Amino acid sequence: MAKNIVVSLDGEESSFAFKAVDRASLYGKRRRIALDKDGNPCIRGSLLDDGSLLLKSGMSGQGYFLDDGTFLKQSDLEGFDVNGNALNKAPSTLGQSEKLTGPVNPNDVLDLRVKTVYVLEEENLGEKLKSSLAQGNIYQFTFNYREDYHAETAFILSNENGIFALIGDPVDYSWLSLNITPVINDTEIDDSEELDFEML
C-alpha cells in the first residue's frame, strides 16, 4: 500500500494520497521532432569531442568518482555541506505525521523555488485544516519523498480546484539600494569666485 502525506494541525491529523501534476498533464505538450529521409523520428547520439566514438543510448554510465578514479557505489556515498561538514540523512516523511506551521505569508510561497506540485486527495481531512484552507490560509511543513541528505520545504493550500502541495527550496533575494552620488553643498560655492580655466 502506498504511503500518504500526513500532516497535523494543532494535534489534528489529516492524510492525503498524492499525485504529481505538471503542465503536460493539464494542457498537453508540444515537441519538436527531427525526422530522417524516410520520415521516421531520428534518434539522438553523442559524438565524443575527439570524434573517436559515437555514443548511442545504453553506451554510457554515470556515477561518483574520487580524485584517484575510484568509483563509489551509491550505498557508500556520504553527503557534505559546502564547508565540508558531514550531513545527516533526513528520513522520508511519507506516512509520518508532519506538523503544519502557519498560516504563512503569501511571500513565503513566492520565495519557494518549486520543484514538484502534488494534487492531494483527502483520505482523512481534519475539520480545522479544512476550514482554514477554505479561508485561503496556507501552511508549511517538511517534506522528503525518500531518505536522503536534504528535506524540502512544502506548502499546503487549496483553491476551487482542490488541495495542492508545493514542494521545493526557499530562495533569498537581495534588497536593492542606491549608492547616492554626493550632493554639492551650496554653501561651499563662493559666488564671487571666478571660474578658473587655467587649472583645467
Sheet holding 139-143, edge to edge: 97-99, 5-9, 12-20, 112-124, 162-170, 152-159, 139-143
Instruction: Answer for the pair 100, 9: CB distance below 8 angstroms, yes or no.
Output: yes
Q: Which one of residues 12, 13, 17, 96 is an interface residue with another protein (CB under 8 A)?
A: 17
Residues between 28 and 67 that touch another protein (CB under 8 A): 28-38, 40-49, 52-56, 58-67
Residue 97 beta carbon to another protein: minimum distance, rounded to whole angstroms: 15
Q: Which one of residues 92, 96, 97, 142 is an interface residue with another protein (CB under 8 A)?
A: 92
β-strand partners of 90: 148
β-strand partners of 140: 101, 155
Q: x/- site string to another protein, residues 142 to 161, per CB under 8 A? A: ---xx--xx------xxx-x
- 35 vs 195 by CB, closer to another protein: 35
Question: Residue 180 carries which DSSP code?
Answer: P
- 161 vs 187 by CB, closer to another protein: 161
How many residues line the site for another protein (CB under 8 A)?
100
The CA-based diameter of the chain, rounded to the nearest angstrom, is 92
- 11 vs 37 by CB, closer to another protein: 37
Grouping H, G, I as helix, E, B as strand and the rest as coil, residue 187 is: helix
Residue 125 beta carbon to another protein: minimum distance, rounded to whole angstroms: 15
